[in-house]
Structure 1
Amino acid sequence: MFSRKEQLIKKTGKDGVGRYEFLKQLIHEFTTTTSLEAKRQTLANLANFAYDPINYDYMKQLHLVDLFLAQLSEDDEELIHFALSGLCNISCDPECKEYIISLNGINFISKFLLHRKEEVSLNALTTLFYLFESHAIVPKEIEQKVIQYEASSNPRLKNLGKVFLQTYIPSELVEK
């Protein structure tokens, strides 16, 4: 649910921990814990905060995009899943979108297309959908993978693949 600054101040109270400080504490917890389960839970919380545009400025100040992108090189599928979720959520912000692209994020994210875990696969394609809003050309290797989504028997994958192709690739250019 989206929030307004006035609502956050009212919820936080005069002496409470503000949103920026809370996000900072989550990031500190994520970077200092040795527990994989705590890392997963904390990253999932950070990804959820990336859903609300009121948090974008705080997340930019705290370099959260960098943290999400760094998790894409981990071996743990849950960390990858939550990192992609966070990138997907925050990529709606134009500045974050351009920052992700400037860090070669399209390449990193596209490696998770057609991942065996459905949620990872869906998050990767949805994030790329947002990122390509500012790019004119979808690389052939990504196009070929998205065509496979469209051919999937899984309705979620099929529908997302179809929307992606209809949005970014003219039908006469799709090689079937």
Structure 2
Amino acid sequence: MFSNKSQLKRRTPENGIDRENFLSLLVDEYLNSTLYDAKCQVLANLANFAYDPVNYVYIRDVGVLDIFLYVIKNETNTQLLHFATAGICNLCIDPLNADYILRNSGLKPLLALLRINNTDIVTDTITTLIYLSNQQTKSKITIPEVVQIMQDLKMSESGNLANLATIFLQDICGIY
């Protein structure tokens, strides 16, 4: 459910932690945790906060986007990658977040994730690429290798992947 700042303030107990501080605590927990399960749980929680646009400013301010970008650039674990791509996918709808992702070298690692053998990650990645596509990025996103991957995914047994690949090819590449 989407919220607004006045709803959040009403639902926060008088001595409770506000949204920005809570997200900051989650970021600290992720950065300081050495346990894989704890990192997964925190990253999943951070990705869930990315669903609500009221959190976008807080997410940018406390470094959540930086964590997601770090994960897609440096991690190989599919569970961590899944949570990071889901978070990025939810956040890239916002123009400020999209710009942040692009300015912080997020496009190249996203393109690399198209080759991973995980339907959820690839689905989130294609959706993100669709949202990130604009006049400045189109030539970087529609490179022949990506177009070939999309043509292959168009034949996927996964309906979600096939549909998203078709949308990508038609709407972003102009291939019918």
TM bracket, shorter-chain basis: over 0.9
TM-aligned CA deviation for residue 133 of structure 1: 4.0
Residue 88 of structure 2 is matched in structure 1 by: 87
TM-score, L = length of structure 1: 0.92
TM-aligned CA deviation for residue 148 of structure 1: 1.2
- Structure 1: segments with no counterpart, 5+ residues: none
Q: How does 1:20-169 map to 2 (within 5 A)?
A: 20-72=20-72, 73-133=74-134, 135-137=137-139, 138-169=142-173
TM-aligned CA deviation for residue 171 of structure 1: 2.3
Q: Distance in 2 between matches of 1:27 and 1:151?
A: 39
CA offsets, 1:30-85, max 9 Å, x none?
11111100100000000110111101111111122111011111121111110111
Deviates more, 1:59-68 or 1:82-91: 59-68
Q: Is it true that 1:7 corresponds to 2:7 in the alignment? A: yes
- For this pair of structures, how many residues does the alignment match? 172
3-state SS, counterpart of residue 34 of structure 1: coil
- The answer as to whether partners of 1:114 and 1:149 remain within 8 angstroms in 2 is no
Q: Distance in 1 between matches of 2:21 and 2:28?
A: 10
- Structure 2: segments with no counterpart, 5+ residues: none
TM-aligned CA deviation for residue 124 of structure 1: 1.2
Give the share of equivalent positions with the same residue, in percent: 36
Q: Distance in 1 between matches of 2:148 and 2:42?
A: 34
TM-score, L = length of structure 2: 0.92
Q: What RMSD, in angstroms, separates the aligned Cα atoms of the two structures? A: 1.3
